[in-house]
Structure 1
Amino acid sequence: MVHLPHLLTTTIILAVSGLLPVTQARRQWTHSTAAVCPAGVRPRDTLPGRWETINGTVVYYPPTAASWGPDRLDVFGTNKAGNLMHRSGNGCTWSAEWQNMGGLAAPAAVALSSARMHLFANGFDGYLYQRTWEGGTWQPRWISLGGTRAQGAPVPVNRGPGLIDLFYVTRSSSLALKSWDGISWSQTSFPGGSTYVSSEPSVVVLGIDNVHVFVLGEDYLVRHLVWDGSTWSAWQSLGGEMSPLKPVAISDRAGTIDLYIVDTEGIVRHRQLTATGWAEWEVIDGPTFVNELAITSWGQNNIDIFAVDSKLAVWHNW
């Protein structure tokens, strides 16, 4: 997850196995100004924090969420037919129908501004593909990024103006990285060396030279890797409970990271990094879930959480 100022987004990937009727979980969406909604529709910033369902399609791969400005949410997931589906929200309601984006799996999205969003997915050939939303419309075709074949969903983050870092796990279970400098994609590199990872990464950007990567290690405990602008740190274990699912992390204010896992019993656990270091792990009350969480934030102190329960409903809490 990456925190961006002003209208730019933070984006987190949700990964799930199996069949999911789409519902979503979001925790505490508190807007700075109320959305202007049609008569009889309350803006979500005036509603108490709660879970809601987002019906209308069924997905096999988990949704990913992105936000390019206040009140705007875009959600993507892959349906039973293998098509990538898209739906957007404006702070009052969700768009009438899910939009078919074509036949790719494991989507991930990142917004560079209110006018430009990049969508990435894993092709059936194992290579990563890109599609861009710009000026209110989507490019007509997916573009292959080549390089090393991937497993699972990629994780794109915006590290600075026009810059994208795209993290993913190779088929040999190493962490890989491709970077976009505004003109072209770099060759593939391997942060953390050849260390075996048991999950897709979650990534937080605190600054152009301050990048944090979270994965599960071979023991299914969270591992933490940091880029300081010149080198990658060694892997650090964050302890806590074992998780069968990818950790997710987000920064919704300067210098702070919120890290979430779903443990082996489906309970959501949270740990926070501030300038004074890591706090202890804590339990987040609510339903139990069968997949890792998807999280996005459009601004300071605003975190949306998406998850799937044992009945395969996607939940949304704010």
Structure 2
Amino acid sequence: MLVKLALLLSSSAGLALSLPSSGPQAKKISKRFIAEPRASHVDWNAPRHHGGFLSKRSDVHTEDYFNNPPSLFSLAADSETVKRDAAIAEDLNVASHNNTKRAKPGQWESLDGSCKYHPAPVCWGGKRMDLYYMGQDKTCYHKSRDYGAKEPKQQEWGSWENLGGEMDSAPAVCTRKKENMHVFCKGTDGQAWHRSYWNGWGKWQAMGGKMKHEPAACSWGKDHAAVYVAADDGQCWHRRYDEPKENSGSWKSWESIGGYLSGPPKAVTWGEDHTSVICKGDDGQAWHKKTDPKKPTGWGEWETLGGSLDSTPAACAWPGDDRVDIFVKGSDGACWHKTMKNETVTVKDPVTDKPTVTTMPKWGAWENMGGEMMADTPPDVAVVGDGMEVYITGQDNAVYRKKWADGSWTEDWEKMGGNVETQPSTVTWDDGKVDVYFTGKDSTVKRCF
């Protein structure tokens, strides 16, 4: 069956995005979304060889080289990135700094830069915001601001700081606690690289491995963090950091959790002893695996969620609710959504054969949220109190949003404006504020707030 979608676009920010299913404005989509799980051509849970991921290699960078790579070119004479005010004025309605509670249509800010891929924001709590990107020169850039700082200068965005490196992917970043950050990337040598911030920057450290895509980062509690990567042979590998005592942490060895990934994984957590890993499989379906403390390996098995994906999944987890929501760009170009949450069920005790009432996690059906998304741009989602905000990049290079509150979604996609070229990167901060970051068509970093 052909899925019919249409976007009624307007240049005015704040316009709702309507999706007629028929009539002269409906656009035919050549591919349909297949919601039903299908049998895979391979066993995702069968043990496998490490596929060379752990093999020693001679074609990798030294840590000294990675921390001091030769400069490919200078971005600006004063070491700051080039400003593009004319292009920005043409692209967006640039707003002044604002402590708004939620992102609103038309409120945009340019943060300059010369960005490749999408930026990576993080908040370690309160009103502090940090932002990272891979530059056109393959090095990592960082800037920050702190609305709660005593010094007025710190309340504004600082200059871009060059953290060095020789990257081949967008960075991934997570935080365990205040004044702590972990930054990960794929190096041009295919290895995973890591740099941490704790009262100042450490050096880039080689983590080994042989990656195919950008990494994913996840942290639960102040003492734990982990990085997840897809290897050349499609397996998902992760490496965990534990800090049993203050400033005495260490990284564990790489561990394979199997799978046949065709893109980078996504890792989310709702708290201690839980991590959900979601990915697009090489069969086009969504796959999920989560930690299980009762299992010897600490992991449950991979389960297929069906779907026919055209992007890396986005996901969020709800602290205290044992709930995970995933969002994908479907093969029909629309945004699709699926939820896992605990449901009350009656099961028979294996010994007494008596019925017992318990709760078990269960996935709901795929939900078509509509929209017409730009190619190769997955959605992103932010949990805001008891609700969610989902952002997509449309085929017109504008940004669109849907909100979930009180158990239902807003009917139409809300146009947020913008002229961007990448997927959205969302972050929540200061107890409910939402920022969304993109790379613009002029390669500068854009903030929607």
When the two structures are superposed, what TM-score results if normalisation uses the length of structure 1?
Answer: 0.71
Which amino acid letter does the alignment assign opposite residue 66 of structure 1?
Answer: V
Matched with 2:393 is: 262
From the CA coordinates, give the structure whose radius of gyration is larger: 2
1:159 aligns with 2:309: no
What is the SS of the residue equivalent to 2:161? coil
Which amino acid letter does the alignment assign opposite residue 223 of structure 1?
Answer: W
Matched with 2:327 is: 214
Q: 1:88 to 1:110 in 2, by over 3 A?
A: same
What is the SS of the residue equivalent to 2:420? coil
Cα offset, 1:67, TM superposition: 0.9
Separation of aligned partners in 2, 1:178 and 1:134? 30
Q: 1:105 to 1:235 in 2, by over 3 A?
A: same
Separation of aligned partners in 2, 1:270 and 1:232? 24
**1:1-318 alignment, distance < 5 Å:** 30=99, 50-56=107-113, 58-90=114-146, 91-95=155-159, 97-122=161-186, 129=192, 131=194, 133=196, 135-136=198-199, 137-138=201-202, 140-143=204-207, 144=209, 146=237, 147=256, 153-161=264-272, 163-170=274-281, 172-176=283-287, 190-193=302-305, 195-208=307-320, 209-229=322-342, 230-244=361-375, 245-253=377-385, 255-318=386-449
Matched with 2:252 is: none
Deviation per CA, 1:111-139: give whole Å up to 9, x if none: 23224434344466878x47363533447
RMSD of aligned Cα (Å): 3.8
Q: 1:233 to 1:108 in 2, by over 3 A?
A: farther
Separation of aligned partners in 2, 1:192 and 1:61? 29
8 Å CA contact 1:196, 1:218 repeated in 2? yes
Identity among equivalent pairs (%):
20
Corresponding residue pairs, total: 279
Q: What 5-or-longer segments of structure 1 have no aligned partner?
A: 1-19, 33-48
Q: 1:191 to 1:250 in 2, by over 3 A?
A: farther
8 Å CA contact 2:288, 2:305 repeated in 1? no
8 Å CA contact 1:121, 1:153 repeated in 2? no
Which amino acid letter does the alignment assign opposite residue 173 of structure 2?
Answer: A
Separation of aligned partners in 2, 1:213 and 1:122? 24
Matched with 2:36 is: none
What is the SS of the residue equivalent to 1:78? strand
Deviation per CA, 1:151-202: give whole Å up to 9, x if none: 55543434214754444435554445566789x9966954544543111121
8 Å CA contact 1:175, 1:190 repeated in 2? no
Separation of aligned partners in 2, 1:31 and 1:239? 28
Q: 1:185 to 1:306 in 2, by over 3 A?
A: farther
Question: Of Structure 1 and Structure 2, which has the larger fraction of its residues in strand?
Answer: 1
Q: What 5-or-longer segments of structure 2 have no aligned partner?
A: 1-80, 147-154, 210-227, 229-236, 238-255, 343-360
Separation of aligned partners in 2, 1:220 and 1:21? 35
Runs of 4+ in 1 over 6 A off after TM superposition: 20-28
Q: 1:103 to 1:262 in 2, by over 3 A?
A: closer
Q: 1:302 to 1:68 in 2, by over 3 A?
A: same
When the two structures are superposed, what TM-score results if normalisation uses the length of structure 2?
Answer: 0.52
